[in-house]
Structure 1
Amino acid sequence: MSERLLAEVNGGDEVRTVTLNMRNVSLKEILAEIEKQAGVTFSYESSLLKEFQKTSFKVEDAALDDCLAQLFASYPLVYKRTGNIVVLKRKPRQVTISGFVRDKTSAESLVGASVYDVGSRLGIATNAFGFFSLTVPASDDPVRISVSYIGYENRKIDFPVLERDTMLTLFLQTNASIGEVVVTGNERSLRSPVHSVQMGALEVNQATIRATPTLLGESDIIRTLQLMPGVSMGTEGVSGLYVRGGNVDENLFLIDGNPVYQLNHLGGIFSAFNGEAIKSMDFYKAGFPARYGGRLSSVVDVQTKEGNMKEFHGSASVGLIAGNLSLEGPIIKDRTSFSIALRRTWLDVITAPTLAIFNAVKKDKSSDINFRYAFHDLNARIDHRVSDRSRLFVSIYNGNDVLKATSEDNPSRDGSISYYLDKTQVSMRWGNLVASAGWTYAFNNRLFGKIAGFYTRYNAKISYREEEKSWDYNNEAYSLSFDETVSASGINDFGVRTSFDYQPVSNHHIRFGGDYVRHDFRPEYSRFLTEEGDKPDSMQVSKVFSNEKLLAHELSAFAEDDWTLAPTLRLNAGVRLSLFNIDRKTYTGVEPRVSLRWLLGKDLSLKASYSRMNQYVHLISNSFLNLPTDSWMPVTRNLRPLVSDQYSLGAYYNWKDLDFSMEGYYKDSRNLLEYKDGHSLVPSSITWDRKLVAGKGCSYGLEWMVRRPVGRTTGWIGYSLAWSDRQFDELNGGRRFPSRYDNRHKLNIVVMHKLSKRVELSAAWTYTSGNYTTLSTESYEGLTPPSKDPFYNFRQEQFDLYGDRNNYRLPAYHRLDLGINIYRPKKKGRMGIWNVSVYNAYCRMNPFMIEKTDEYNPDERKSYPVFKQYSFLPIVPSITYTYKF
């Protein structure tokens, strides 16, 4: 053993260092040697060190505090140094309180409920299955746990003595009052923007979705998200999301953890999410947690309702164009429950008699007009409680759109000629099927896990056919059949997902897991058939333009740690590893994610985040509507994965019950896709991936928001100042051009007020800079070349001259939506709800598109180019009645 005591004086303060190299000695001997070298005295109970075995310890020229920290790191001891006295005490033992928070009436899990230890001021929020794990110091004194959730009565649980780990299920009672719900202090701060580490995140509950003014009486989470800063809606009336300059396919939509590829119904007027089936929704647009991946711009994570395990309940609603029915209840009381929600439009039911009357009274009897459109959504779920720790679940979503249009001509006769023409329908069908089955289990007080298998299918098909033309002439029969075109695309996914929540100590919340997905792509299928007549020399032509099928494998793993470094400093750091294999080509991605929160005061914080995202599938569209002509396509040898890096910085402040936030961001994207000039989804001899060109994009901006989440009057004001552009070497001469939805300014004001227990008012005003489009702003006259026809000569015509892509910004868009909910209590706890909404209350005719046409001047006998603006939705009132039982 060698020993040395060094004393140095630096600025008048003595810096004590210690050098030790002791082997197989007791802790008491090590302390005695430190006392000699450092000139300090250890104070402790005589029995404190008896239980520890002999050990070895080595330091060299270590400062006294560093030496003590290293020595006691492996012992259940804490020390406090005051001058030359070092007091040793046993480290307070910690215990873990874990379990589930559930609705008392239905036993349904409550997502995001706050569990808070009043004494230690430690707290945590429940996960997507209502599970929590809270580690607190063991104490001989009483311990009080507070549990809170908006819309529910707070509950306090007292433990007279807390000596060992405890697992329990906590039930909360719904707040019968529709009035103000007050959540104050640290209980609210657990989920407040100031104290959480997450940036660009938003939680939306069913009450907010229902209270927001609706279009045609249908509550919609996508329209609610469109009212948030940084989110553009795209086109008037369409349920699209364009987040921070991204495209519509850069958003990850999940139902119970499984992806949904086709988001919209009726060309985008309705989304695929049925509000009656939704329990909660989390939205992320920055600082993405490592557990999410596969898209560049945002995540919309929707959890559907678990069924009521105690009682049967349901609701039925009737709107202008759609109806909704939902039921839930126990299959086996307190063990197995079901929940089902069905939504269907009756546009086909409404239009059928109208068209029948029109066909009956119209003067032209030569043809009949037939039309049908319908969509439906089905959400179903079964949950089974194996034990307090273990649950099984099955979840299904199915949504389909069907459009058919037929026109049938009647036979006619002209002299000796009998003529007959028959045309069959145009048919379009598209939709999703998502099914999953899984198991959740609380392995112990600190570890919760989930494993699930899933299947996702998206199919879209368009077919068109003109069937038969026939006539009789001089007792000779002739017939002609021709033209059938079929186009289809789709994806089938099979996979398994695992995720685990682990909380070893109170300041670490670790999540880890992995996914495997097998993708079966049919990116483009097109078939054309022509068949002529019934004579020997009749011609038959059948050609398949493309029928490619692709198999891909996607594998990912993630780990993240939400770590409280200090009371003022909190970090969420993680990494996602992804692999995508297709056509003997493998792409790999390393996606680091980090978010940091610095608490400047109890009501003020700063945050910063960085995230890298990879995307391996793309939605290729040649329309701003969401139609079956849009196709999901994978990366290939020619098309590399989309990659984005996003940097965000923000400040957050709480004042009373108002949340203020300001976020700035910069997003750089690579390998974005566009059609080459002159190419589209129209079938051709060129393969689909050769029609596309890759480029890059840049988006940046500032977002401000003030929000009041609780009280009789709630709502928010949000403003965005944003830029977004694109650059492709093969497009626009290689010059940058603004993206279509580069909306420079966006302002939203949303107010919801509970006038009384039975009346709720809402208003939402939106203003945004216009979208970009490409217009010909100049024309020139030229001569068309002659054809082979000898009677066809040069002709003077006017041609359009186009400049840069997206060279014209449409006029600004703004509208006001109003709504009122009237609650009518019935007997036995039943409720009738009237919703009256007015979309675009002051009938602003916002531009849907602008077209350049020629207008003839009869006085000058000359045509002049003019621009015409087309609008889509005027003022649209709606009324819906919902009956809950």
Structure 2
Amino acid sequence: MEWLHRTQKVNFTYDATLPVGNTYRGPSLKGMTLAQALSALFKDSGINYSVNGKYIILKAAKQEKAAPHSQPQPHKASLAPPRRHTLSGYVRDTSGETLINATVWDETTGTGTTTNAYGFYSLTLPGGEHHIKFSYLGFADQKISTKLESNLRQDVALKEDNRLPEVVVEGDLNSPLLNTQTGKRSISQADIKTGYALLSSPDVVKTLQRTSGVAEGVELVSGLYVHGGNNDENLFLLDGTPLYQINHTLGLFSSFNADIVKNVDFYKSGFPARYGGRLSSVIDVRTTDGDMQQYHGSVRLGLLDGGLQFEGPIQKGKTSFNIALRRSWLDLITRPVFSYINHHAGEDDDKINLEYFFHDFNAKVTHLFSDRSRLSLSTYWGQDRLSTRDEYDYSYGAMSYYTNDGRRVDTGNHDTEKDLTKNHFNWGNFNAALDWTYILSPKFFANITGVYTYSLSKLRSLEDDRVTDTNGNESSRQFTEHGYHSTINDVGYRMAFDYRPTPRHHIRFGHDFTLHHFRPQSNDQINIFSNDGEGDTTKVSSKSHLAATELNVYAEDEMTLSNHWSLNAGMNMALFHVQGKTFMNLDPRAAVKYQPNRYLSFKASYTTMTQFVHKISNAYIDLPSDYWVPTTARLHPMHSHQWAAGVYLQPNHHWLLSMEGYYKWSSHLLQYTNWQGLEPPANNWDTKVMEGHGRFYGLEFDAHYATHRLQLDASYTLSWNKRKFEEYFPDWYYDKFDNRHKINASVRYTFGKGTSLYAEWLYHSGNRLTVPTQYVNYPDLGDGGEEDFLFERPNNVSAPAYHRLDIGVDIHHRTKHGHERIWNWSIYNAYCHLNTMWVDVNYDNYSGTFKAKAKGYIPIIPSFSYTYKF
């Protein structure tokens, strides 16, 4: 009766002497109409009922049944709505690590929720007996029964289920079928460590490149072009702090160490109001806290890099630590190689040295003050260093001269030319987040984070060409030393509140405040020129810096409107102050879901996004000469509107199918007007760019199939990416990464006894190129006519289609001491298809036609890694 009162909004009127306290033991009432439910509920109960509007009138069976349309009779007792109480707590694994997006489901009422980014859940339920199920992918379900008579704190520790590669959870509230947002995907550490990894180093960004609606850009590079957006339009957050340099080795590896990553929430549309600052995507990366109970870790040795991860308790059950270190050792290979080459080089050969390495270091300390209060300090330090040296010595023959009588006289002197070229590049990040979470009440969760971000790009180059005679006297010299560095300092805080008054309302609100200090380009240059004792020295230096203040205030409410409808609505207000000017933008967000049954749902969303910072670059790979700058008083912040809609079908627990469509309009996009080179100038940079528009739309199809041993994933993207910069070209033209068709198909199979195989095939239309279409004679304006190429429009030709096959195998072995060994073999581009890197275009004067030849150089790349877990 209480369940019908709550779900059907009806009231029961009855005499207090009726036996309504008896336990109902008939069939489930779920899915029945009200008439069917009443018939089943009171069958053989000794109670008759009649319906009058929203009133159900009960009488003893021996009494005459009330007329169907009689007025309600005076009653002695009425069933009041039961009091509601809140069940809340943390969901962790057995080591104390919190689990993000774990499902908490009440089987009694058919309501549930998921844990937030800190593993906390809150579920308000009517008083009485409840059966709660806790579920998380890769862990065994846990069920508890509890009688709610007041607010109850219930922390749960789930156990890993290692018997299967995964556990399929029915009713996962984080599933695309059930959540309200469009374009969201949650990725766990297991998804990143699939069995294949480029150079056997699992990578967060390359995992995201496999998703529909994402273009990877240049081959091997960790580019991320989401729904047509540029690489700088993605917001990367590491434990709540923004990350500006997200790649190592010019993009070969990303800055995220998979050994310490716990969860990644990736949004490509339907952005919640709590995120802002970028146009195209949000990548929210959370790292693991560390084991509160025991020490353990892992060592990984790969082809080009290796890693160490170690975690454990500082104070058992109260304080934990987790550290992870990753370093490449390419420099350990190149040093002896170049030393050998230089040692055996000829006297007049160049002496060359090249050294490169990267490292990143993550550290996290977590302390539990109480069941309600938790503090953590998370830090990241990543750095790349590249040094080159080219030294050349050449001695001329003996110097001679002729006397007046024609005799040749040899002086015996020799001139020596010494040329030295050195380059040193250094770039990276340092991030820190001091995070405090506090449970204000079972329904109210607070999080306050202090953040600091430092980003550095630095280069130093030297060219020294000098000529000396036999006595060491310098006859001429040309010396140039050039230095450049770019830095960002961000300091601020985040305040976020999570309030769940009922299971049908999940309210989030808060604000972010950041002080930005950009030094985009500081240059210094020394030039020395001398000849026969006379010389000249010049020094040039320049600095630029911009300070800005950014404030974001947001509120959002995820509401369950009925059994079929849910809504997420919110607003993000951004204030950005720079150069005495304040920009204010209101970005509304809304997402709605309609679910007619448990197998099918329809969703739609509308979001606006504003971006105040820009990355200035003239290349499609990450270079240390790139730099970030804020919007200035001369420019507008970049802005986008995005509409998305989709249908999601889960016919059974093996299959999940989806189709999403999107349309995105971007304005005030920036592009350099005419600068060429790798160091675009930062001084008055806003006078050297032009503003334009972007129009991006497409369809995405995804299919997922899973059994105990087999997992199949397939996606297809059909997209159009167009831009318009009227100063550059008066009409719309296709973007460089307008890949019309993209297909990803992958399979993962576990053979048993710890052996798993992974294979993925990738296909997409070729990147676009700008090639000439005619060779014409220009008019004679008095200085003679000229012949030159004519370009019809930008990016007017597509390169040949790109495709490759990647495969990998993992072999797990557990030692007698309980430690685990993992051997991984991976093969990139298994059938060695040389995909196009660029195209050479030549004009044939004889035939009057253009001939193009595609150039590809990246072959099959095998790799191996060994991991030891202890």
The TM-score with structure 1 as length reference comes to 0.86
Cα displacement string for residues 162-204 of structure 1 (whole angstroms, at most 9, x for unaligned residues)? 20100121111111313552423x3x3x222222111111111
**1:681–1:688 Cα contact (<8 Å) kept:** no
Alignment equivalent of 1:441, drawn from 427, 438, 463: 438
For 2:133 and 2:609, the matched residues in 1 are separated by 38
**1:869 counterpart residue number:** 854
Of the structure 1 ranges 775-784 and 611-620, higher mean CA displacement relative to structure 2 is found in 775-784
Corresponding residue SS for 1:503: strand
Matched, 1:317 2:300: yes
Q: What secondary structure is seen at the aligned counterpart in 2 of 1:834?
A: strand
8 A contact 1:212–1:764 mirrored in 2: no
- What does residue 803 of structure 1 align with? 792
1:151 is matched with 138
Aligned-pair distance for 1:111? 0.8
Whether the 8 Å CA contact 2:625–2:679 is kept in 1: the answer is no
The worse-fitting range, judged by mean Cα deviation, of 717-726 and 175-184 is 175-184
Provide the C-alpha distance between the structure 2 equivalents of 1:535 and 1:362, rounded to a whole number of angstroms.
32
Aligned in 2, Cα 1:363/1:328: closer, same or farther, shift over 3 Å?
same
Q: Distance in 2 between matches of 1:301 and 1:435?
A: 15
What is the CA-CA distance between 1:852 and the residue it aligns to? 2.8
> In structure 2, do the counterparts of structure 1 residues 471 and 446 end up closer, same or farther at CA, with 3 Å as the change threshold?
same
**Which residue is 1:597 aligned to?**
593
CA distance in structure 2 between the partners assigned to 1:759 and 1:171 by the alignment:
28
Q: How many residues are treated as equivalent by the alignment? A: 795
Which residue in 1 is equivalent to 2:157? 171
| Aligned position for 2:723 | 726
What residue is the counterpart of 2:283 in the other structure? 300
SS of equivalent residue, structure 1 residue 151: coil
CA deviation vs aligned residue, 1:384-413 (integer Å, no higher than 9, x gap): 111111111000111111111001234635
Higher alpha-carbon deviation: 534-543 or 194-203: 534-543
| Corresponding residue for residue 665 of structure 1 | 662
Match of 1:842 among 821, 828, 831: 831
- Using the TM superposition, give the Cα deviation of residue 464 of structure 1 relative to its aligned residue in structure 2, in angstroms: 1.4
Aligned pairs for 1:547-586 within 5 A = 547-586=543-582
Alignment partner of 1:443: what SS?
strand
2:514 and 2:550 in contact (8 A); partners too? yes
**Please, which of 265, 269, 294 is the counterpart of residue 282 of structure 1?**
265
Aligned to 2:487, which of 486, 490, 494?
Answer: 490
Partner of 2:44: none
Q: CA deviation at 1:474?
A: 8.6
**Alpha-carbon RMSD:** 2.5
Give the superposition deviation at 1:235. Answer: 1.1
TM-fit CA distance, 1:743: 0.8
The reply on whether 1:80 has 2:77 as its aligned counterpart is no
**Shift of residue 598 of structure 1?**
0.4
| Correspondence for 1:387 among 370, 373, 377 | 370
Aligned to 2:650: 654
Alignment of 1:333-482 (within 5 A): 333-410=316-393, 412=395, 414-415=397-398, 416-472=413-469, 477-482=474-479
Residue 830 (str. 1) matches residue 819 (str. 2): yes
Gaps of 5+ in 1: 1-40, 48-77, 787-793
Unaligned runs of 5+ in 2: 1-10, 18-51, 57-68, 399-412
Aligned partners of 1:165 and 1:79: how far apart in 2? 34
What is residue 879 of structure 1 aligned with on the other side?
A: 864
Does structure 1 retain, via aligned residues, the 8 Å contact 2:195–2:757? no
Distance 1:828 1:697 in 2: 58
Distance 1:772 1:839, change over 3 A: same
Query: Which stretch shifts more, 273-282 or 528-537?
Result: 528-537
Distance 2:643 2:373 in 1: 40
Residue 499 (structure 2) pairs with residue 502 (structure 1): yes
Task: Report which stretch shifted further, 839-848 or 704-713.
Answer: 704-713
**CA distance in structure 2 between the partners assigned to 1:533 and 1:680 by the alignment:** 28
**Counterpart contact for 1:344–1:375, Cα < 8 Å:** yes
Amino acid at match of 1:175: D
Quick one: distance in 2 between partners of 1:481 and 1:683? 25
Cα distance in structure 2, aligned partners of 1:689 and 1:864: 41
In the superposition, the TM-score normalised over structure 2's length comes to: 0.88
Change (3 A) 1:440 1:42: closer
Kindly provide the CA deviation profile for residues 357-410 of structure 1, in whole angstroms up to 9, marking residues without a partner as x.
111223354431010111111111110111111111000111111111001234
Q: Give distance in 2, aligned partners of 1:684 and 1:150.
A: 49
Q: Which residue of 2 aligns with 1:103?
A: 93
Partner amino acid, structure 2, of 1:81: Y
- For the residues of structure 2 that align with 1:605 and 1:738, how far apart are their CA atoms? 34
CA distance, structure 2, for counterparts of residue 45 and residue 558 of structure 1: 51
Change (3 A) 1:180 1:578: closer
Aligned to 2:40: none
Distance 1:144 1:163 in 2: 14
Asked if 1:116 corresponds to 2:99, the answer is no
Give yes or no for contact 1:212–1:224 (8 Å, CA) kept in 2: no
Work out whether 1:637 is the aligned partner of 2:633. yes
Task: Please give the secondary structure, in 2, of the residue aligned with 1:276.
Answer: coil
* Structure 2 Cα separation of the partners of residues 307 and 683 of structure 1: 43
Is the deviation greater in 673-682 or in 368-377?
A: 673-682
Partners of 2:306 and 2:326 within 8 A in 1: yes
Per-residue Cα deviation, 1:770-804 (whole angstroms, up to 9, x for no partner):
11111123334689999xxxxxxx99986332221
Residues 484/194 of structure 1: CA separation in 2 closer, same or farther (3 Å cut): same
The residue that corresponds to 1:587 in the other structure is 583
Q: Deviations over 1:292-330 (max 9, x none)?
A: 110011111111111111111111111111111111111
Deviation at 1:42, TM superposition (A): 10
Judge conservation of contact 2:104–2:133 (CA < 8 Å) in 1. Answer: yes
Query: Shift of residue 629 of structure 1?
Result: 2.2
1:815 aligns with 2:801: no
Q: Residue 17 of structure 1 aligns with which residue? A: none
Cα displacement string for residues 706-757 of structure 1 (whole angstroms, at most 9, x for unaligned residues): 113563211311011111100112011x111111111111111011111113
Pair 1:757–1:474, CA change in 2 (3 A): closer
Q: 1:108 to 1:863 in 2, by over 3 A?
A: same
Counterpart CA distance in 2 for 1:804 and 1:774 is 7
Aligned partners of 2:195 and 2:824 also within 8 Å: no
Spell out the pairing of 1:752-791 with structure 2 (5 A cutoff).
Answer: 752-780=748-776
Alignment CA distance shift 1:678-1:147 (3 Å): closer
Deviation at 1:611, TM superposition (A): 0.4
Contact 1:359/1:365 (<8 A) preserved: no
Letter in 1 for 2:510: G
Q: Contact 1:418/1:473 (CA < 8 Å) preserved in 2?
A: yes
Deviation at 1:134, TM superposition (A): 0.7
Whether the aligned pair in 2 keeps the contact of 1:181 and 1:710 (CA below 8 Å) is no
Write the mapping of 1:38-49 to structure 2, written as runs, cut at 5 A: 43=13
Q: 1:119 to 1:488 in 2, by over 3 A?
A: same
Report how far residue 462 of structure 1 moved: 2.1
1:543 positional shift: 2.1
Q: Percent identity?
A: 41
